[in-house]
Structure 1
């Protein structure tokens, strides 16, 4: 089991990263809530990981906090929830927000997540109510925004691909319909915003914390 990786962040994009550790490059799938906290490429990064092995694939999933990783492991034990859906859930809600939804039985917040219907949301609330107690006692860190994601004065105007196109593509990859993605981005878009900023704000508006 690979439980944690610390190395140099070689590449990052919404949904996945490439991290070099001891001469090896690890391709790691990540939720968007983790993507927002990544440092710039070339800097050191630490990710709490889960290694999943299936007959047809081996996948490594990474998370900014141990709490997010441990919640991911509980989510994939829920009937009908696989790693892809669990990553989607943690892309829209971080661990603290999800736990809050379970505590107040907020079905509406869960059904707004792509791939989560009403029956799945109700199943999550029922099964996770008994399981989130396993997370009690863990320290929940407040991770400061990186300059790239905070929208601070140090940001430079984006170059290369259109950030709006990248943000829309990221939301579509997460499971939102193209029309929903385009509408969400257009509502928050302002000049000189990066794709990371657009995704963060769009998800915040689409999925209230409860």
Structure 2
């Protein structure tokens, strides 16, 4: 099992990144909360990881905080919740916000996340309430990651942000609506974060 990966950040193509560790490029899928905390391409990075082995692929997921990984691992144990939906949940809200939803029986907030209907939200609340001891003691401390500023955003940052939202499970029309009225002259990561915040607060 690969538990942590350190190296140079080679690529950022939301929700995928590539880390060069001793000459080997590891492709990881991350939550949007982790993505926006990443440094610039070419800089050093260290992430907690979770490896999923399937018959047709070995999939590696990266997390900025150990607590985020712990919640991911708890979520994929819930019936009907796979890695893709777990990442969508972690992209739409952080660990503390999710905990509040469970403790307050706030299924309405959970249904704003892609792929989470009323029944799934209710199941998450019931099952995750019992799983809190498994992950709530995880570390909240982030790794040494800093959001990059000062670099001009790529011309296709808006298209990349839209594609990333679609990959999370939002419909194309919904992703476009989420990005509407947001200044497009920003990095992909900033656009994604703003769109997700707009969605949750809407």
Does TM, normalized by the shorter one, top 0.5?
Answer: yes
Alignment partner, residue 197 of structure 2: 204
Alignment partner, residue 49 of structure 2: 49
Alignment partner, residue 158 of structure 2: 164
Offset, 1:191: 5.5
Name the SS for the 1:46 alignment partner.
strand
Q: Aligned pairs, how many?
A: 202
Offset, 1:107: 0.4
Name the SS for the 2:91 alignment partner.
helix
2:193 matches 1:190: no
**Deviation per residue, 1:92-136 (Å, 9 max, x gap):** 112122112111111011111111111111000000001112223
Q: d(CA) in 2 for partners of 1:176 and 1:68?
A: 22
Alignment of 1:9-24 (within 5 A): 9-24=9-24
Offset, 1:145: 7.7
Alignment partner, residue 27 of structure 2: 27
TM-score, length of structure 1 as denominator length:
0.89
Alignment of 1:64-143 (within 5 A): 64-141=64-141
In the alignment, structure 1 segments of 5+ residues that lack a partner are: 149-153
Q: Is residue 76–residue 83 contact of structure 1 (8 Å, CA) maintained in 2?
A: yes
Q: d(CA) in 1 for partners of 2:115 and 2:161?
A: 19
Deviates more, 1:129-138 or 1:69-78: 129-138
Q: d(CA) in 2 for partners of 1:200 and 1:55?
A: 33
Q: d(CA) in 2 for partners of 1:136 and 1:147?
A: 26
TM-score, length of structure 2 as denominator length:
0.92
Name the SS for the 2:38 alignment partner.
coil
Against the structure 1 CA distance between its residues 134 and 185, is the aligned structure 2 distance closer, same or farther, given a 3 Å change threshold? same
Q: d(CA) in 2 for partners of 1:18 and 1:146?
A: 17
Alignment partner, residue 155 of structure 1: 150
Q: Is residue 37–residue 143 contact of structure 1 (8 Å, CA) maintained in 2?
A: no
Q: Is residue 9–residue 19 contact of structure 1 (8 Å, CA) maintained in 2?
A: yes
Offset, 1:139: 3.2
Q: Is residue 19–residue 25 contact of structure 1 (8 Å, CA) maintained in 2?
A: yes
Q: d(CA) in 1 for partners of 2:53 and 2:28?
A: 14
Q: Is residue 31–residue 91 contact of structure 1 (8 Å, CA) maintained in 2?
A: yes
In the alignment, structure 2 segments of 5+ residues that lack a partner are: none
